[in-house]
Amino acid sequence: TSPHFVLSLIGSEYVSGQILLMILAVGILPFAVATNAVSRFNYLGMSKRLLFIGSLQMIGFIVSFILLVPPFNVVGAALSILISYSISCIPALIWSEKNLLRYIGNTAIAIIAGWGISYIVKLSLPDGLINEITTLVTSIVVTMVIIVALKNTSISEVRRLLKTVVNPTNSN
């Protein structure tokens, strides 16, 4: 699988963490939504909403951590993080502007399509390094093409982001 491949690049001792990587990767979307909302509410001085979202996230984490870590160990801890992000994401979505919901929906569509097409590619190729690399590249390319096609971001923004990643000191 792709998480197995990515972690094997770091070292074979990290491969056992592929389930954790997948759980935490799923948590990126609710985390991004909640963080975006928190930033916006902070900017607008909506302290009650900030307090509510933060409290909900903390309570969700503590309760799920207590319930999930004893039976599931580290996977339970990763699930607790996912649950806390997801719970805090709900009011953030409810209080967000409608155009944000369009961006979130488009992103979800792009991620699901990228995963689905890369899974089909994976099934059509023999197992091995080429399969893993092709699957990973296909997923990234399909996801980015859909994000640009649905106008979530522009090609110039992607280009600027890539320049910053490649050379962070000259990102001005």
Q: What is the pLDDT of residue 160?
A: 87
Name the residue with tokens 């009011």: 91
- Cα–Cα distance measured from residue 96 to residue 111, given in angstroms and rounded to the nearest whole number: 21
pTM of the predicted structure, to 2 decimals: 0.71
- Cα–Cα distance measured from residue 28 to residue 89, given in angstroms and rounded to the nearest whole number: 11
Q: What is the pLDDT of residue 1?
A: 57
CA 6 to chain centre: 16
Return the top range by mean pLDDT from 24-38, 56-70, 125-139: 56-70
Q: What is the pLDDT of residue 171?
A: 57
Looking at the chain, the whole-number percentage of residues with pLDDT higher than 90 is 28
Q: Which two tokens stand for residue 131?
A: 């399969």
Condensed to tens digits (0 to 9), the pLDDT of residues 48-68 reads 999 999 999 999 999 999 999
